[in-house]
Amino acid sequence: FHSSSKLSSNHKKRCNFGIAFDIDGVILRGRVPVGGSPQALRRLYGDSGELIVPYLFLTNGGGIPETKRAKELSELLGVNIMASQVVQGHSPFRNLLKKFENELIIATGKGDPALVMSEYGFKKVLSLEEFASYFESIDPVSQYKRWTTMPQSDRKEPAVPRYNVLSKRIKAAFVVSDPVDWGRDIQVLCDVLRSGGLPGGANNNQPPLYFAADDLEYQVRYCAYLCLMEINPKRLEYVTYGKPNPFVFKNAEVILSQLQSSSCQDHSKNNGVPGSHPFETLYMIGDNPSVDVKGAQQAGHPWFSILTRTGVFQGKDNHAEFPADLANLPYFFALPDQISPLV
């Protein structure tokens, strides 16, 4: 798969494969495209900009709604990416709507976690910042944090409390993305979890805690989660989503099938009826063996894992514990002057 070569017409016609791209360390590093990723993505579209190869992004990152992320990715990568092609770590939180739609919940992490949850349909979402702002000294060192000394008018929290958190119990906590102020987040989450969701409350049944992902290799992410386990005297009850959970790959398969139905030019395998036919191969292209490769392996057929060396994995050949089906790619999206094509 080389950014300067043409997709074979056979591939276009059969439409029997799909691609799941990891974002961080494969497509982008920060906001900078890796190698020739924009050029390579453009080749998945036809001359009039129509999608000819079903593909999506499967990232454990997040913090902003999928609609916004799709727009941001489209701008950075120069192709028209739909929100349905962006599966973030927290995307499965949508499935918890029935349970918590009208309950008071708390959401934390970088970006705008409360907005993410509100866009999924949750009606009573408190950001951790807003919750903390209801308490005078929940963060005893806040005055030393220069970055929090912005005027109240510039802050997102409403000046008038929207909920009486002393009488209204928080029913669930959601770690939507990486923590920004780890110390405060751990402190506040411990308070919420250990008090049963009601500060000073007698009921200490821990409210459910959900993590968007738990890939620890990435900049020791979710340190908050590890510390919570240390601090909580009882066993911490939690659920994590994101890769490498097999259901993430099953869900990706469903989305790719839907994209295939709308993009595939050849319906001969379905008696001429538009619709999906089984994929021969689904490629998972990632940089993290214990997340991307492990996930694809656990998901089994038709997943095929490809490990790049542009992010977490920096080994020479393949990973020892989670060897990919194809590895040893210094640049997956090589530009002609970078490296010769390998696939």
60 touching ligand G3P, by CB under 6 A: yes
Binding mask 25-54 for ligand G3P (x = CB under 6 A): x-----------------------------
Among 61, 65, 207, 289, indicate the residue that binds ligand G3P (CB under 6 A). Answer: 61
Q: Which does 253 bind (CB under 5 to 8 A by kind): ligand G3P, Mg ion, none?
A: none
Is residue 117 within 8 A of residue 102, CB to CB? The reply is: no
Smallest distance, Å, CB 287 to Mg ion? 4
Distance (Å) of CA 325 to CA 16, 34, 157: 19, 21, 48
Name which of Mg ion, ligand G3P, none residue 35 binds, using a CB cut-off of 5 to 8 Å depending on partner kind.
Answer: none
The residue sitting closest to ligand G3P, measured at its beta carbon, is 61
- Sequence-separated (6 or more) residues with CB below 8 Å from residue 44: 7, 19, 51, 52, 53, 55, 79
Q: Which two tokens stand for residue 313?
A: 């994995």
- Taking the least distance from each CB to ligand G3P, the nearer of 24 and 112 is 24
Instruction: Please state the closest distance from residue 215 (CB atom) to ligand G3P, in A.
Output: 6
Cis amide linkage into residue 302, ω under 30° from 0: yes
Q: Six-digit token pair at 104?
A: 């008071």
- Please tell me the number of Cα atoms within 13 Å of 305 on its side-chain side: 26
Integer Cα distance of 35 and 293 in angstroms: 21
CB of 163 to Mg ion, least distance (A): 37
Site string for Mg ion, 125-144 (x = CB under 5 A): --------------------
Least distance from Mg ion to the Cβ atom of residue 81, Å: 17
> Residues 207-246: x/- map of binding to ligand G3P (CB under 6 A)?
--------x--x--x-------------------------
**Helix H segments across the chain?**
9-14, 37-42, 66-77, 97-100, 113-120, 128-133, 182-194, 223-231, 246-263, 294-299
178 binds, among ligand G3P, Mg ion, none (CB under 5 to 8 A by kind): ligand G3P
Q: What are the backbone angles phi and psi of residue 99, rounded to the nearest 5°?
A: -75, -40
Positions 5 through 64 that interact with Mg ion (CB under 5 A): 22, 24-25
Query: Tokens 């640049």, residue?
Result: 331
66 touching ligand G3P, by CB under 6 A: no
Do 268 and 3 touch, CB atoms closer than 8 A?
A: no
| 3-class secondary-structure state, position 133 | helix
Question: Looking only at residues 275 through 304 of this chain, which bind Mg ion when binding is defined by CB under 5 A?
Answer: 287-288
* Candidate list 178, 181, 185, 214; residue touching ligand G3P; CB under 6 A: 178
Token pair for 264: 């595939």
Minimum separation from the CB atom of position 173 to Mg ion (A): 25
Q: What number of other Cβ atoms are within 10 A of residue 239's Cβ?
A: 11
Closest to Mg ion by CB, 60 vs 263, is 60
Q: Which of 15, 19, 20, 23 binds ligand G3P (CB under 6 A)?
A: 23
Q: Which does residue 129 bind out of Mg ion, ligand G3P, none, counting CB within 5 to 8 angstroms by kind?
A: none
From the list 37, 39, 59, 305, which residue makes contact with ligand G3P (rule: CB under 6 A)? 59
We find the least distance from the C-beta atom of residue 288 to ligand G3P, in angstroms, to be: 6
- CA neighbor of 176 nearest in space, from 99, 22, 29, 61: 61
Cβ partners under 8 Å of residue 250, min gap 6: 299
User: What does the binding site for Mg ion look like in residue numbers (CB under 5 A)?
Assistant: 22, 24-25, 287-288, 311
Residues forming contacts to ligand G3P in the complex (CB under 6 A) are: 22-25, 59-61, 178, 215, 218, 221
